[in-house]
């Protein structure tokens, strides 16, 4: 990618850095500046790696050509005022410039154009030293930069970022709780992750993660984006008010129940309040998930006989309390019975005499 430097300040700085007495009083052409990532054997080049541009008419061995990496995996800086690999000399416009890393050609070239600044990512393979010595292990994680959230809809977003070396891609994102995007194991410099099933109208937090070939993990700072649309909300409805029984005596319990439903698309809390004769008597706060229902039950009793009005979150009814009926009077107490034994024995004697007379009469007739 080539980007024109169009600000006067940047051109002036480059001119001051690059001008030398060799040009005398002539105004020298503006140099062509380069910056970007640099990899050696598929890993971020260590700090101090030398990057150099060579070509016909290119001046080398001067300030800013070659340039040493100040951060692992990067030479120069995208900052307009930051350091660059400066390519200058008696160079024809459009001439080919070849790039070298630690003296080894990357076989990557670019056209030279006065006054331009170009991002050019370099890779090179450098053979191991004779004798089979092993290169030191890579312990430097990739550098993450240019993080961007875009294509944001009500339920999805795209996250992109760049790394200083080829790495895998993953995004951790959350409103609450956090989730992880699928791990993309392809090792790339430019990363893109699509996340979906997000909550509309909600601020989401995210950070990106990338691991290089040596499993060195880099994790970015925390960023945010807000999905489009309205956030979900709870919507509570009340139904099925029940009062049982509707008539009681003083002091007897009355059970009052109501069904609360969350008809919205998000969980929420709701206060259920029982009022009797417009006076709050009891309340309960409940939490329901979207689409859930719950029966709320209150128990009360009254010591005054009358009809009471009931209101529970806008639903109304009534119950009646009555005086307890007076208990029936006890049965009268009778005096104990007196046994008339003379009468009883007289009756028994009379029965015996009559029986004997009947027996004698019957016997005489038979004889």
The boundaries of the domain holding residue 278 are: 236-322
Domain count, the chain: 3
- The residue among 226, 247, 277 that closes a domain is 226
243 pairs with which residues across the strands? Answer: 256
Structure tokens at 85: 């690999």
Q: Does 274 share its domain with 317?
A: yes
Token digits of residue 208: 């990106």
In terms of average pLDDT, the best of 96-110, 135-149, 350-364 is 96-110
Distance CA 70, CA 52 (A): 14
pLDDT at 129: 59
In this prediction, residue 352 carries a pLDDT of: 80
Confidence bin at 331 (pLDDT 50/70/90) = confident
Which of 196, 226, 256 is the endpoint of a domain? 226
Residue 342 lies in a domain: no
Residue 240 lies in a domain: yes
Is 29 a residue whose pLDDT tops 70?
A: yes
Q: Do both 89 and 38 map to the same domain?
A: yes
CATH number of the domain encompassing residue 163? 2.60.40.10
Query: Is pLDDT at 229 greater than 80 in this prediction?
Result: yes
Residue 16: is its pLDDT beyond 60? no
Query: Closest Cα partner for 101 from 143, 142, 54, 147?
Result: 54
- Are 65 and 177 members of one domain? no
For residue 15, the model assigns a pLDDT of 45
pLDDT of residue 23: 42
- What mean pLDDT comes out for the span 139-145? 87
In the structure, what pLDDT confidence band is assigned to residue 13 with cuts at 50, 70 and 90?
Answer: very low
Distance between CA atoms of residues 312 and 280, nearest Å: 10
The residue behind tokens 């004798």 is 131
Q: Is the pLDDT of residue 7 over 60?
A: no
Is the pLDDT score of 148 beyond 50?
A: yes
pLDDT(335) > 80: no
Q: Is the peptide bond before 177 cis (omega within 30 degrees of 0)?
A: yes
List, for residues 170-217, the tens digit of each pLDDT value: 999 998 788 888 889 898 999 999 999 998 999 999 999 999 888 889
pLDDT in tens, 240-298: 999 999 999 999 999 999 999 998 888 899 999 999 999 999 999 999 998 999 999 99
| Residue 131, in any domain of the structure | no
10 and 92 belong to one structural domain: yes
d(CA 3, CA 6): 9
Residue 349 lies in a domain: no
Residue 364 belongs to a domain: no
Q: Are 245 and 295 members of one domain?
A: yes
Tokens linked to 188 = 């790339």
Average pLDDT score over the chain? 85
User: Are 52 and 84 within one domain?
Assistant: yes
Compare 63 and 356 and report the one with higher pLDDT. 63
Same domain, yes or no, for 118 and 152? no
State what percent of residues in the chain have pLDDT above 90. 53
Q: Is residue 161 part of a domain?
A: yes
More confident residue, 84 or 357: 84
Q: Could you tell me if 299 and 186 lie in one domain? A: no
pLDDT at 153: 95
More confident residue, 61 or 219: 219
Alpha-carbon span 144 to 189, nearest angstrom? 10
pLDDT at 131 over 70: no
Over residues 323-344, the mean pLDDT reads: 79
């Amino acid at each position: 990618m080539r980007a024109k430097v169009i600000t006067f300040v940047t051109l002036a700085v480059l001119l001051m850095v690059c001008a030398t007495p060799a040009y005398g009083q002539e105004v020298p052409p503006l140099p062509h500046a380069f910056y970007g990532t640099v990899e050696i054997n598929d890993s971020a080049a260590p700090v101090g790696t030398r990057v150099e541009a060579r070509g016909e008419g290119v001046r080398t061995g001067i300030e800013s050509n070659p340039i040493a990496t100040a951060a692992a995996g990067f030479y120069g800086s995208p900052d307009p005022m930051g350091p660059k690999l400066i390519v200058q000399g008696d160079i024809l416009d459009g001439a080919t410039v070849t790039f070298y890393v630690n003296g080894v050609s990357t076989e990557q070239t670019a056209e030279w154009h006065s006054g331009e600044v170009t991002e050019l990512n370099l890779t090179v393979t450098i053979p191991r030293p004779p004798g089979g010595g092993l290169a030191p292990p890579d312990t430097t994680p990739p550098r993450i930069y240019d993080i961007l959230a875009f294509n944001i809809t009500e339920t999805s977003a795209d996250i992109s970022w760049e790394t200083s070396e080829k790495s895998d891609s993953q995004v951790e994102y959350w409103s609450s709780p956090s989730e992880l995007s699928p791990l993309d194991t392809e090792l790339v410099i430019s990363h893109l992750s699509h996340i979906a099933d997000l909550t509309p109208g909600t601020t989401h937090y995210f950070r990106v993660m990338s691991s290089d070939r040596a499993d060195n993990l880099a994790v970015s700072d925390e960023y945010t984006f807000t999905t489009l649309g309205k956030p979900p909300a709870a919507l509570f409805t009340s139904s099925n008010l029940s009062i049982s029984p509707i008539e009681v005596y003083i002091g007897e319990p009355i059970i009052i129940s109501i069904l609360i439903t969350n008809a919205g698309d998000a969980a929420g809390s709701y206060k259920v309040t029982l009022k009797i004769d417009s006076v709050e008597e009891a309340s309960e706060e409940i939490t329901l998930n979207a689409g859930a229902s719950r029966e709320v039950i209150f128990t009360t009793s009254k010591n005054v006989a009358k009809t009471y009005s009931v209101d529970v979150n806008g639903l109304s009814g009534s119950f009646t309390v009555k005086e307890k009926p007076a208990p029936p009077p006890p049965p009268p107490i009778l005096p104990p019975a007196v046994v008339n034994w003379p009468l009883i024995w007289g009756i028994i004697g009379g029965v015996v005499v009559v029986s004997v007379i009947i027996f004698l009469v019957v016997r005489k007739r038979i004889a």
